[in-house]
Amino acid sequence: MSGHSRWANIKRTKGAADAKRGAAFTKLVKEITVAARIGGGKIDGNPRLRLAVDKAKAATMPKDNIDRAIKKGTGELEGEQLIEILYEGYGSNGVALMLEATTDNKNRTVADLRNILEKAGGSLGTTGAVAWKFTRKGRIAVPVKSITEDKLTEAVIEAGGEDVQNAGDVFYVLCTMEDFNTVRDNLEKAKIQVTEAELAYIPNQPTKLVGHEAEKFLRLMDQLDENEDVQKVHADAEISDEELTRIAAL
């Protein structure tokens, strides 16, 4: 999923958790490989690769797996040809979705996503179908435990950012696409702990979900998360903390 959203705090069965772990490793390998292919294999000179490797280490991925993924990206080792694709669609209750995928088989990915969405009462759309419902912004995740909101807000203003949002376990720092690299670098120079930095699709008018619709949406998010080709999911859904607490207890 995109970022460490509150939705990710909803835990399912052990089987689903195991499936997520396997898919997460595959996604991380793909991200490392693509990052190395685009920006080179030197971590210090490639911010995207650095963040991908940090995530892999946090997920306890073995160093050999990380090194192989980097070498596949730089061409030192043979690997599948990965392409990045952005899909648009609708989930349950008409929730708009922007799906970032990395795949070696476009036909397989399209078929899989169409099947997942249609079973959930949604559909895969054409280019431009829902993009207008989102604004592309830089989004940087900072652990809540690492800093107070007041101190972070002050640092964000100095770094050139736009806003700070509390998302439970993390603060999200928002900024324009143009200022993304500058804001991220300035926060790191200020010794602010950054756990994720990405260009995200921020919903303009979130769709509030409650009850059965919220539960159905979270099931769909689980299914998308378990798909190894789906790297990130951006949705215009909004679920209250109270609803998430209720669903977590089911």
| pLDDT single digits (tens) 31-44 | 999 999 999 999 98
Neighbour tally for 192: CB within 10 Å = 21
Place of tokens 């059965």: 212
Decide if pLDDT at 1 tops 60.
no
167: confidence class by pLDDT, cuts 50, 70, 90: confident
Decide if pLDDT at 244 tops 70.
yes
Maximum pairwise Cα distance, the chain = 51
8: confidence class by pLDDT, cuts 50, 70, 90: low
Domain 84-131+206-248 in CATH: superfamily?
A: YebC, transcriptional regulation domain (3.30.70.980)
Place of tokens 């390998």: 29
Per DSSP, helices labelled H in 96-148 are 106-119
Tell me the domain boundaries of the chain.
6-74, 84-131+206-248, 133-203
DSSP structural state of residue 206 = P
Residue 5 is predicted with a pLDDT of: 54
Q: What is the mean pLDDT of residues 215-237?
A: 93
Instruction: Decide if 84-131+206-248 and 133-203 have a common fold.
Output: yes
Instruction: State the fold for domain 6-74.
Output: Arc Repressor Mutant, subunit A (1.10.10)
CATH 3.40.605.10 fits 133-203, yes or no: no
Question: pLDDT tens for residues 119-144?
Answer: 999 999 999 999 999 999 999 999 99
List the structure tokens of 42.
């030197």
